[in-house]
Every structure is written in C-alpha cells, then in structure tokens.
C-alpha cells in the first residue's frame, strides 16, 4: 500500500506544475511567471500550514486509499482527463503562469498529465514523461509559484465537483513533493 500512496504523490506534483512540463524541450526562453519569495512574505507560513494539515490527516488519507484507490474515487480516466483539461485552462487564466502557458499544446498536455495521474493513482495507464526534478530544474519556481499552481489544482477539483477528501488528498500529495519543484 505504501508504494501505491507514493505513486499517488507523484501525480499531484505533475498536476500542479503543468506549465513546466509543457515547456520541456521548448526552444523559447524561460519566461518566469511567478514572484520572488520576498514579494510573498506569507508563502512560507502558508506552506507550513499545508504541511501541518497534511501530516495531521495522513492516517485518514491512508485509510481511504486502502478502502478504494484515488483513481476510482476520482471517477476513472475520463474524469481525470476532465481535471487536467480544467487545470490547463485555469493555468492559462492565472497571471502567474499565463506567459509560460503561451506555448502549450493544451490537448496533448492534458492527456499526458491525465496518463500520469491515472498511472499513479491506480489506473492501468502508463506515463513516460520527464521526472519531477529534471522537468522543473530550469524554472526556479518559488513557494509562491507552487502555492499558486496548487490553488489552480484545488479550483479545478472544485469546479468539477470533487469532494473535500479527494481534493485535500491531491493537495497533500502535491505538498509532499514540493522539494522536487521549488528552487529557492
């Protein structure tokens, strides 16, 4: 079961950092959309609050995962594709990521991310993309960027009617992998 939860953890980081994956291998210069941590003095406090919330709810999340996979609770592949499609849309609207999303093939990206999410949450799909560290190294995301992307993840889940438990589980998976994508 621990392996299943760890694989699920990988999923959310990918969801939150869609713009980075979209730019991987792109010849366009980096257009960093985010703000520096000094512009967001509350970013560290917000991140610590999320870490605390996730730590305190870890047992409940593990129990839900043991009862029914996150893949099934999200509604399977088509519902996961709907989440990633909505997330891509929200990132385009988010001023923190608008420039980075400029070069994205939205449909291809949403499908690739859906494959990753499905593979990591209990589905049969395979993901063959870049690992988190390599995909994010050149972008130098801050905690503020990470929190902004996570906000889009939460909003996408809410927009599509996913419950609090599944949304929080996705957010906590994201938070558990933050050190792979934040370069402050």
**151-162 residue pLDDT tens:** 999 999 999 999
Closest CA to 35 of 89, 87, 97: 97
pLDDT tens-place string over residues 15-66: 444 443 333 333 333 344 444 433 455 888 999 999 999 999 999 999 999 9
Average pLDDT of the residues of the chain: 80
Mean pLDDT of 140-149: 91
Percent of the chain with pLDDT over 90: 51
Q: Which CATH architecture has domain 43-180?
A: Orthogonal Bundle (1.10)
Q: Where are the domains of the chain?
A: 43-180
Measure the CA–CA gap between 179 and 176, rounded to whole angstroms: 8
Q: Tell me the whole-structure pTM to 2 decimals.
A: 0.77
Question: What is the band of 177 on the pLDDT scale with cuts at 50, 70, 90?
Answer: confident
């Amino acid at each position: 079961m621990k392996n299943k939860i760890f694989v699920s953890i990988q999923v959310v980081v990918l969801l939150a950092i869609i713009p980075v994956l979209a730019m991987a291998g792109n010849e366009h210069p980096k257009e960093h959309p985010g703000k520096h941590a000094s512009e967001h003095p509350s970013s560290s406090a917000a991140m610590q609050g999320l870490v605390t919330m996730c730590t305190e709810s870890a047992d409940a999340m593990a129990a839900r995962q043991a009862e029914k996979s996150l893949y099934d609770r999200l509604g399977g592949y088509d519902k996961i594709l709907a989440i990633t499609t909505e997330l891509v849309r929200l990132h385009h609207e988010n001023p923190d990521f608008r420039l980075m999303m400029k070069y994205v093939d939205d449909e291809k990206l949403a499908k690739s991310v859906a494959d990753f999410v499905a593979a990591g949450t209990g589905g049969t799909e395979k993901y063959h993309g870049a690992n988190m560290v390599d995909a994010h190294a050149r972008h130098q995301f801050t905690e503020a960027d990470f929190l902004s992307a996570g906000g889009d993840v939460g909003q996408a889940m809410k927009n599509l009617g996913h419950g609090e438990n599944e949304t929080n589980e996705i957010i906590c998976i994201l938070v558990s992998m933050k050190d792979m994508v934040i370069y402050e």
